[in-house]
Structures are given as structure tokens and as C-alpha cells.
Amino acid sequence: MITNKEKNLYRNTKQRQKILDLLVNSKSHPTADWIYLKLKKKFKNLSLGTVYRNLRILKETGQIWELNFGTGFSRFDAVVHSHYHFICSSCQKIYDIKIPPMRELDDRVIQLTGFRILSHRLVFFGLCDVCKLKKKKNSKNVKNHRTQYRS
């Protein structure tokens, strides 16, 4: 069966364009509901389902990546070349880590297991500069809880 992707029959909707725009011009690895809230200002009738559907299509066409760090919700990234991430355990902000992809890690596991290794995912955890300073000042620990409309 020939898919839409293969037939290149995707249509260029204003909504899809703006969602991609937002991701290209963002470094904060937005969530679906953050994008929804942001674009709701321009598209008064925007539906959250539309955001999710377009994120899926953009992902399927290789224009964005879906990032999931086991938090219960996905983040999206228009940087689609292999790179690593850092998550601040205090403020939960996500940073791109600009060290070149380490293929030698794959090689090591290939030697060890004999499996065919295609890729790996590497995420660092710790405290970013801002939160490192806050900790020093002995500030109170603010507990995170699940909330809609995260950036």
C-alpha cells in the first residue's frame, strides 16, 4: 500500500507550518500542550488533536524528533541530527549537549553482545548553572508536580 508520505500528498496547512516554525525557533524542547497554548493565540479554533497529528506527521517525515525522557509526556525537537541531552534534576530544563556522536560506544556493545546496534540514546542528569547556584545559597527545594502546559 502506498502511503501519503510516499505519494507526497501532504498539504501545506497554516497550522502545520506554524508548528514547525515554532519548533525551529525554539531551544526549549516544547511539549504538545505548550505548542497548543502558544498557537491558540493566533488560531483561535486550534485543536489539541491537530497539534498532536501534525507533530506525528512532522516526525514521520523526518522534520522533527520526538523526545521522551520517561516523564509521562513527549517533547519535540527540530534538531534532527544525532545529539545528546542534559536534564536539570531541579528545574527540569533540557539542554542540547554538543559533543560529537560516539559511535565507539555502539562498537563496544557489538563486540560484547553480537547484537546489531543501530543507535544509542544518552541523557545526562544533574544541576544546571542556575540551579547549582541556588543550591549553594541553600534555597528551599521546590517539588515538581504534574501540570499541563509545560514549556
Partner DNA sequence: TTCTTTATTAGTAATCATTACTATTATTAA
Partner DNA sequence: TTAATAATAGTAATGATTACTAATAAAGAA
Distance CA 90, CA 82 (A): 25
Per partner kind, with CB cut-offs from 5 to 8 A, the member of DNA, a copy of itself, none near residue 3 is none
Determine which helix (DSSP H) or strand (DSSP E) holds 51, and give its type and residue range. Answer: helix 48-60
Which range in 15-23, 35-43, 117-125, 140-148 contacts a copy of itself by CB under 8 A? 117-125
Interacting residue with a copy of itself among 4, 79, 107, 125 (CB under 8 A): 125
Positive or negative torsion for Cα 36, 37, 42, 43:
positive
Among 22, 57, 91, 122, binds a copy of itself (CB under 8 A): 122
Residue from the set 108, 139, 144, 148 that interacts with a copy of itself by CB under 8 A: 108
Tell me, residue by residue from 36 to 75, as one string, x for binding to a copy of itself by CB under 8 A and - for no binding. -------------------------------xxxxx--x-
Please tell me whether residue 95 binds DNA under the rule CB under 7 A: no
Q: For cell 541531552, what's the residue?
A: 85
Q: Alpha carbon 28 to chain centroid distance? A: 8
Task: Please choose which of a copy of itself, DNA, none residue 142 contacts, taking the beta carbon within 5 to 8 angstroms, the exact cut-off set by kind.
Answer: none
Q: Which residue has the cell 519535540?
A: 76
Interface of this chain with DNA, residues 18 to 57, rule: CB under 7 A:
31-33, 43, 45-50, 52-54, 56-57
Burial class (CB in 10 A: 0-12, 13-18, 19+), 29: buried
Grid-cell match 527540569, residue found:
92
For residue 128, give Cα distances in angstroms to 7, 53, 89. Answer: 45, 33, 8
Residues engaged in binding a copy of itself (CB under 8 A):
67-71, 74, 86, 88-89, 95, 97-99, 105-106, 108-109, 112-129, 132
